């Protein structure tokens, strides 16, 4: 993965190609179309396809209390972009000094000076520079003056609506994970560190990994069919997201039972793909009915994961 966090030491082999600037949160179908156009332009100018993004999103610096959780962390975003064919990703550290650059200064410093771009590809709602004061019309003029080609990629529509990170964020938050996944390039994924829980899962015959320190948007509460990743290997997983009502708890927890896994996961990072929502969180009359339902959930998980 060619992920860089500075322009000062950006390798020369990634300069002089086609560049796209944006957030790319979640890396959805609209981003995939943009990247396809980026790769075409890179081939035309015989250079690399490069994505420039800011980390964190500018809103987290300017309006942290109003910023919703992200759909993907930086390394995951770069991994997904690489799979689409991007040659290098720059996740430039966001600070207020950089955000004060006006559109012309931003263009001269980043696009012309550091990246030495020969082509630029953006979506139809692109803005850049301080206070988002630069638009596509200005970008087109700057590119023309610099002898660059500008292409604007058309958006992708699903169900009559434009695919966007905000639309996917709403669906994920509602627990409509299958709808969200149809707009993403890969199933929605979170990551977390495994911490010790109450140990009830082990007592019930279904030991769970309790995930903490999750840094992206959590789907709506429910029981999910999932796929957990440990050391690069995938395991079918039944995931509970919500409170354990049967035992009188109100705290929202993320607990994943990895089918067939027998190792120790404490203090390790586990990544989880959400594949389908099975049902709501329920309160059961007793342990026996809970175990019976967990058994059916696991059977459903195995069927769903096997079909992916």
Number of domains in the chain: 2
* CB-based contact 156:30 (threshold 8 Å): yes
How far lies 99's CA from each of 62, 70, 89, 209, 232, in Å? 9, 20, 19, 40, 37
Are residue 132 and residue 264 in the same domain, yes or no?
no
pLDDT tier, 243 (very low <50, low <70, confident <90, very high otherwise): very high
* CB-based contact 188:181 (threshold 8 Å): yes
Structural domain contains residue 176: no
Bridge partners for 81 per DSSP: none
Provide the 3-class DSSP secondary structure of residue 145: helix
**pLDDT tens digits along 169-212:** 999 999 999 999 999 999 999 999 999 987 777 778 899 999 99
Q: Who's near 49: CB < 8 A, 6+ residues apart?
A: 17, 18, 20, 35, 38, 39, 41, 42, 85, 86, 87, 88
Are residue 25 and residue 120 in the same domain, yes or no?
yes
Structural domain contains residue 96: yes
Q: What is the pLDDT of residue 197?
A: 81
Domain boundary among 113, 138, 154: 154
Both structure tokens of 172: 């994920």
Are residue 14 and residue 150 in the same domain, yes or no?
yes
Beta strand 49-55 with 88-93 is parallel
Whose CA is closest to 89, among 14, 155, 33? 14
Q: How far apart are CA 187 and CA 177, in angstroms?
A: 9
**pLDDT tens digits along 40-71:** 999 999 999 999 999 998 989 989 888 889 99
Domain that holds residue 122: 3-154
State how far Cα 197 lies from the chain centre: 27
Whose CA is closest to 170, among 180, 162, 156, 178? 180
Are residue 20 and residue 92 in the same domain, yes or no?
yes
Structural domain contains residue 166: no
pTM (two decimals): 0.95
Are residue 242 and residue 296 in the same domain, yes or no?
yes
Are residue 107 and residue 22 in the same domain, yes or no?
yes
CATH label of the domain that carries residue 253: 2.40.30.30
Structural domain contains residue 169: no
Q: 69, exposed or middle or buried, with CB in 10 Å at 0-12, 13-18, 19+? A: middle
Domain boundary among 136, 154, 172: 154
CATH label of the domain that carries residue 28: 3.40.50.620
Task: State the first-to-last Cα distance of the chain, in angstroms, to the nearest integer.
Answer: 25
Are residue 129 and residue 197 in the same domain, yes or no?
no
Domain boundary among 137, 154, 171: 154
Neighbours of 258 (CB within 10 A): 25
Mean pLDDT value across residues 148-153: 97
- The position carrying tokens 């096997």 is 306
Are residue 124 and residue 197 in the same domain, yes or no?
no
Q: What is the pLDDT of residue 9?
A: 84
Structural domain contains residue 170: no
Q: What is the pLDDT of residue 203?
A: 76
pLDDT tier, 295 (very low <50, low <70, confident <90, very high otherwise): very high
Q: Is the pLDDT of residue 1 over 90?
A: no
């Amino acid at each position: 993965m060619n992920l860089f966090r500075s322009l000062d030491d950006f390798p020369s082999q990634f300069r002089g190609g086609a560049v796209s600037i944006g957030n790319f949160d979640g890396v959805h179908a609209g981003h995939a179309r943009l990247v396809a156009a980026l790769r075409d332009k890179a081939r035309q100018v015989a250079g690399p396809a490069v994505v420039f993004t800011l980390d964190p999103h500018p809103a987290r610096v300017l309006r942290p209390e109003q910023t919703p959780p992200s759909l993907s962390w930086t390394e995951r975003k770069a991994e997904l972009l690489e799979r689409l064919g991007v040659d290098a990703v720059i996740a430039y550290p966001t600070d207020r000094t950089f955000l004060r650059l006006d559109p012309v200064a931003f263009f001269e410093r980043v696009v012309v000076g550091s990246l030495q771009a020969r082509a630029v590809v953006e979506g139809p709602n692109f803005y850049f520079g301080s206070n988002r004061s630069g638009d596509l019309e200005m970008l087109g003029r700057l590119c023309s003056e610099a002898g660059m080609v500008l292409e604007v990629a058309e958006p992708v529509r699903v169900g009559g609506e434009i695919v966007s990170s905000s639309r996917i964020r709403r669906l994920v938050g509602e627990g409509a994970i299958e709808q969200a996944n149809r707009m993403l390039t890969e199933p929605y994924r979170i990551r977390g560190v495994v911490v010790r829980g109450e140990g009830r899962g082990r007592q019930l015959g279904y030991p769970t990994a309790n995930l903490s320190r999750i840094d992206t948007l959590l789907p709506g509460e429910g029981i999910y069919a999932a796929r957990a990743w440990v050391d690069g290997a995938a395991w079918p997983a039944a995931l509970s997201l919500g409170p354990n009502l049967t035992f009188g708890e109100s705290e929202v927890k993320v607990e994943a039972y990895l089918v067939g896994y027998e190792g120790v996961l404490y203090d390790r990072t586990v990544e989880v793909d959400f594949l389908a929502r099975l049902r709501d969180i329920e309160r059961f009359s007793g342990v026996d009915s809970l175990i019976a339902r967990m058994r059916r959930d696991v059977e459903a998980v195995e069927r769903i994961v096997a079909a992916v």
